[in-house]
Amino acid sequence: MTNSDYNAGFLGYGDEEITGFRRENKTLFDLAEILNKRLIYLTEFCTTNVKESNWHAKAVAVRLLMRSCGLLQAAILLSERGMIVEGRTIIRGLLEASFGVAALHDDAENYIKLLKGDSEASRRNQLKYLIEQQLIPKSNSAQNIQTSIDNINSKPKLMNQKAIALMGPLGSQYLAYQRLSDDSVHVTARSLNHYINLTEDGLGWDYQWLVGDQESVAKNLYTAILASLPIGLGVAWIIDEPAAINDFSELSRSFHKVEPMII
């Protein structure tokens, strides 16, 4: 890897390394990039044709789609540099978006209600923390902040991703969401173990940078596509766009020919 600048870490990888990662998993990279283009095309169609009110199901679906486009692109970019842990933190976000699209399709009114409640609950918790930790800005007062808390309707709840996943047909993928949380997203014993290498006899270890191999990159790409396809298909159904439904259905059939991979 003569193009590498190892002092820059993953940022030091050059064309040779990136080409190598892409060559090892060409089929999955090609599928991911085709999917990305179709998601972007659908987004452009939506931004031109979907002119609903802010909290209409179609408008919410478009915003979920736009968020997913960026997340998929990030997953591809991280995969081509062998950044496994970092990629998995992004891929969990794609799964979360897919749960949202599925719930929006099956029960839009309830899902949007949960979205609004989650926002209010988050705001309430932040305001309470300001008071509890005495972090009140000089330009404000505890009484003003308490009034803001009291003005938040009822007792909103933070969203539960398990409950969201079970609102639609993607409940079985919640296990992947849990695994990614433990494996990479949160600071856990499992996620920290990515940075050590056990000796062959299992009696010792040393530190290591986790650089993806062919299998780990393949698993990341597979899971990213698995999460993203229902997003495109679900949004196409929500906005009732037959051409996009056909495009994503066709791509799904191609994807299902790939051997399943579990992170």
Q: What is the tens place of the pLDDT at every residue in 213-251? A: 999 999 999 999 999 999 999 999 999 999 999 999 999
Let me know: does 96 contact 244? Beta carbons within 8 Å.
no
Non-local CB neighbours of 181 within 8 Å, separated by 6+ positions? 92
Q: State pTM to two decimals.
A: 0.91
Non-local CB neighbours of 227 within 8 Å, separated by 6+ positions? 91, 94, 95, 97, 98, 173, 176
Torsions phi, psi for 7 (to 5 deg): -70, -15
Q: DSSP code of 62?
A: H
DSSP 240-252: T-HHHHHHHHHHH
Q: What is the pLDDT of residues 96-152, one digit of tens each?
A: 999 999 999 999 999 999 999 999 899 888 888 888 888 887 677 778 778 877 777
pLDDT of residue 2: 43
Which residue from 177, 232, 224 is spatially nearest to 61, judged by alpha carbons? 232
> Cα dist. 111→24, 86, 114, 165 in Å?
40, 29, 5, 11
3 pLDDT higher than 60: no
Beta bridge partners, 196, equal 207
Non-local CB neighbours of 258 within 8 Å, separated by 6+ positions? 27, 28, 31, 222
Helix (H, G, I), strand (E, B) or coil at 230: helix
